[in-house]
Amino acid sequence: MPYKNFEEYNISVTEEVKDKFKSIIGDLGEDLERDGILKTPERAAKAMLFLTQGYHQNPEEILRSAMFKEDYDDMVIVKDIELYSLCEHHMLPFFGKAHIAYIPNGHIVGLSKLPRIVDVFARRLQVQERLTHDILECINDTLKPKGVAVVIEASHMCMMMRGVQKQNSTTTTSGFRGQFEKIETRTEFLRLISADLA
């Protein structure tokens, strides 16, 4: 039985993006009839639509779909959430990890929803600073916790492949709201995401 890909794409949008990629590839000097390139415009179009699908997803709805009343009011941390995004300046990838914590205020959220909202915001053209802010404010506005914290550590291909070409550099961004603006709470969070508890 042949391999079948179950991803679904808007056919008319895919065709438009495919034609644009075909034009770009041709303008770069590549032979559009070469075996290895024949299906590249379509593959590139589908890849780009997949990598930017966050524009069509609602992160607030994702969180609200799994909010539960609960009296728990200590820190909840989900760390080492893999993320992959595209830099809006060069449309090159940046990738790394997000660490999220919140202190519930009458409601908790299904743990899988936090990585899902990271994906929603990461699958848009982004800068790391805004990605951090988007995740932070979405959780703060939707869940209304006593506090929320987000730290992102990422490597940027626009710095590694071109420009300054620094392969070992990483960028860290952070945001804190509510109780995490207190130094002792923030310090506990930063200690826990740095610790190997296994």
Which residues are known catalytic residues? Answer: 87-90, 128, 156, 158
144 — alpha (psi -120 to 50), left (phi > 0) or beta?
Answer: left
What is the separation, in whole angstroms, between the first and last Cα of the chain? 43
| Cα 137 to Cα 118: distance, rounded to the nearest angstrom | 12
What one-character DSSP code corresponds to residue 55? G
187 residue type, one letter: T
Neighbours of 183 (CB within 10 A): 8
Tokens standing for 181? Answer: 């603006």
Only one residue has tokens 């415009």, namely 41
Helix (H, G, I), strand (E, B) or coil at 83: strand
